[in-house]
Amino acid sequence: MARYFILFILILLNSTVFFSQTKGIVLDASNGDPIIGARIVLSSGQKSITSNSGEFILSNVKYPNSLVVSMMGFISETVKLSKDTLLMINLKTQVQEISDVVVTASRRNQNIEDVPISMEIIKPELINNKGFSNLEQAVDQSPGVYAMDGQVSIRGGGGFAYGAGSRVALLWNGVPMMSPDVGDAKWNAIPMEQTSQIEILKGASSVLYGSGALNGIIALTEKEPSPKGNFSAKVQSGVYGNPRRKSMQWWDKNPTFHLADVYFGKSYKYLGYTVGANAYLDSGFRQGENEKRFRLNGSFYFKPKSNSKLKAGLSYNAQYQDMGVFILWKNDSLGYQAQDNTLSRQKAIRINVDPYIKFYDKFQNQHQLKTRYYLVTSGNESKVGDASIADLFYADYQFQRKFGTSINLSAGITHNLGQVKSWVFGDHISSNSALYGQVESKFKQLDITAGMRIEHYKLDEMKADSRFFINDSLSIPVYPIFRMGMHYKLTPATHLRASFGQGVRFPSIAERFVSTTV
């Protein structure tokens, strides 16, 4: 009996020695800040991610073993394990320009070199150094992108439609920012001075983002606050010079423009926030086309102590704008002056509130729900909202799963509801729903992407605009959209890309029903 007891004790001790628990913390080597969401993979197959404080725990670890710590934007680190110990792992930042991280192309973090479609990044430094007053001016700096009078064209792939519709989708924090009535992008309503970077996707991208991404995507993501806190302030002013032709000068004193913005953000162990304000005053070089606008925006997020894999929060943005709208020249001699009865005064209010939640389940699958309420009003000089009031309710659920180290799956469902009340084009309700999915596979130097979307769009009680005609007499109420892409890495600095993508754009309410006179 004593021999069996001793054998039991030896087995128990052996289990304690060879199967134990590994704990650790992952830090940024440059500043000592904890890295949240770093991926931990053991050679035996166990996986984990770091918590809000950068910590991780792996149970029932068999020694000897090794683990790999990886995080987008950092150099991966491999650590050998020989006993139960507390690890402190410092990751170094990747400094190569080619390792820029983007999220727009596949709705997930990936290196720009792995994207199968042409893409451009505009860094915040360019915005600060150039002194832009709205996003339209910034994207015009990108090769192949042309902006004029509120319309943006990428590589000449879209026509020009003044005042309504857009062939390029604008995203703010991964959610389309297109007005529900006119279907255009309000370029000056986006707080570009508070973005981490501007991503320009050059090509049809409707599979992941739906109607409007016909010609490409311009996406901005708000920068995350840091534990040390970030504060910035900027003031700039300018003056319009006199034209060469004296007849075009309508002013006695040169018109001026002024811009000021301020930003502050700070994060703590379980929460973080940002707040910003912007003001712009412009006398205008065309008579009567002066402008003033004010904007307040910010964000807040919370990571509960009881669940380090959960993050919830919201961002907000509110803008007031008062401007003169110049339509026709007075004549060919008196430039910078409007023809009689073609200069109007417009006032507008734009508000968006974006609640969201993101979490990882026990299998390390990512679930993300993004929502938005977007209000756009316009009116004349005496009353805001006299012309139109438009509300947009948006929701998008996305699921992401990684199979091994070579396959990524992204799938989701999207729905938005638009309500418009306008004396220009009447009262209408639009409904847009979609299912989408995309698979990415990596084979050493080759990356292959394939995706599909099923889109449904309906306006009022009419037949669905998204009908897809199989033949002259047979149709289905949803429109299928496809995408395929390939990326091959020839050398560390040489990449081959090929892509096929479809785009779709349903007409905006303004394009379909507008009726007015000039």
What is the tens place of the pLDDT at every residue in 86-125?
A: 788 999 887 544 457 778 777 888 888 888 888 888 888 8
Task: Examine the fold and report which residue of 66, 91, 116 is the final residue of a domain before the chain moves on.
Answer: 91
184 in any annotated domain = yes
Mean pLDDT of 138-143: 88
What value does the CA radius of gyration of the chain take, rounded to a whole number of Å? Answer: 27
If we measure between CA atoms, which residue out of 516, 431, 433 comes closest to residue 164? 516
Q: Which of 4-18, 101-115, 126-140, 419-433 has the highest mean pLDDT?
A: 419-433
Mean pLDDT of 374-403: 86
In contact, 291 and 266? CB cutoff 8 Å: no
Residues paired with 428 in a beta bridge: 420
Q: State whether 236 and 307 are in the same domain.
A: yes
If we measure between CA atoms, which residue out of 274, 423, 287 comes closest to residue 342? 287
Paired tokens of 450: 């394939």
Q: What pLDDT does 253 receive?
A: 94
Q: Give 37-55 pLDDT, tens digit per residue.
A: 888 888 877 888 888 788 8
Indicate whether 408 pLDDT > 90.
yes
Reading phi first (left if > 0) and then psi (alpha if -120 to 50, else beta), residue 284 is in left
Indicate whether 382 pLDDT > 70.
no
E strand spans, 98-194: 101-102, 110-111, 119-122, 145-148, 151-154, 169-172, 175-176
Q: State whether 47 and 124 are in the same domain.
A: no
In contact, 185 and 165? CB cutoff 8 Å: no
pTM recorded for the entire structure:
0.82
Indicate whether 265 pLDDT > 80.
yes
Q: State whether 67 and 176 are in the same domain.
A: no
Indicate whether 236 pLDDT > 90.
yes
Q: State whether 295 and 341 are in the same domain.
A: yes
5 in any annotated domain = no
13 in any annotated domain = no
If we measure between CA atoms, which residue out of 444, 446, 357, 450 comes closest to residue 410? 450
Tokens 């390939």 appear where?
486
Q: Using CA atoms, how far apart are residues 248 and 329, in angstroms rounded to an integer?
A: 11
Indicate whether 10 pLDDT > 60.
no
Paired tokens of 327: 């339509």
Indicate whether 360 pLDDT > 80.
yes
CATH code at 288?
Answer: 2.40.170.20
**Helix-then-strand count for the chain, H and E:** 5, 31
Paired tokens of 349: 């209010």
In contact, 70 and 84? CB cutoff 8 Å: no
Indicate whether 256 pLDDT > 70.
yes
Q: Using CA atoms, how far apart are residues 382 and 369, in angstroms rounded to an integer?
A: 40
Paired tokens of 40: 């931990």
Q: State whether 82 and 116 are in the same domain.
A: no
Tokens 């970077």 appear where?
197
| b (16+ CB within 10 A) / e for 13-30 | eeeeeeebebebbbbbee
Q: State whether 228 and 284 are in the same domain.
A: yes
Mean pLDDT of 413-432: 93
Task: Examine the fold and report which residue of 29, 57, 91 is the final residue of a domain before the chain moves on.
Answer: 91
How sure is the predictor about 419, in pLDDT bands with cuts at 50, 70 and 90?
Answer: very high
Q: Give 294-340 pLDDT, tens digit per residue.
A: 999 999 999 998 887 899 999 999 999 999 887 777 777 766 777 77
370 in any annotated domain = yes
Please count the structural domains in the chain: 2
List CB contacts of 267: < 8 A, sequence separation 6 or more.
Answer: 224, 225, 226, 227, 273
The DSSP secondary-structure symbol of 329 reads B
11 in any annotated domain = no
Least confident of 2-6, 18-22, 104-108: 2-6
Q: State whether 346 and 261 are in the same domain.
A: yes
Q: Using CA atoms, how far apart are residues 342 and 328, in angstroms rounded to an integer?
A: 6
Share of the chain above pLDDT 70, in %: 90
| Domain extent at residue 290 | 101-513
Q: What pLDDT does 238 receive?
A: 94
Task: Examine the fold and report which residue of 36, 58, 91 is the final residue of a domain before the chain moves on.
Answer: 91
Mean pLDDT of 395-401: 97
Q: Using CA atoms, how far apart are residues 32 and 357, in angstroms rounded to an integer?
A: 27
In contact, 465 and 506? CB cutoff 8 Å: yes
3 in any annotated domain = no
The DSSP secondary-structure symbol of 250 reads -
Mean pLDDT of 3-8: 47
Q: What pLDDT does 311 receive?
A: 94
The DSSP secondary-structure symbol of 216 reads E
Residue type, 367: H
Q: Which of 223-227, 299-303, 508-512 has the highest mean pLDDT?
A: 299-303
Element (H, E) at 487: strand 479-491
Indicate whether 11 pLDDT > 50.
no
Q: What pLDDT does 384 receive?
A: 59
The DSSP secondary-structure symbol of 116 reads S
Q: What pLDDT does 455 receive?
A: 95
Indicate whether 266 pLDDT > 90.
yes
Share of the chain above pLDDT 90, in %: 41
467 in any annotated domain = yes
In contact, 504 and 211? CB cutoff 8 Å: yes
Q: State whether 146 and 284 are in the same domain.
A: yes
Q: What pLDDT does 6 receive?
A: 46
Q: Give 59-84 pLDDT, tens digit per residue.
A: 878 777 888 898 877 888 888 887 76
CATH code at 84?
Answer: 2.60.40.1120
> In what side-by-side order are the strands of the sheet with 39-42?
47-49, 39-42, 65-70, 77-81
Element (H, E) at 465: none
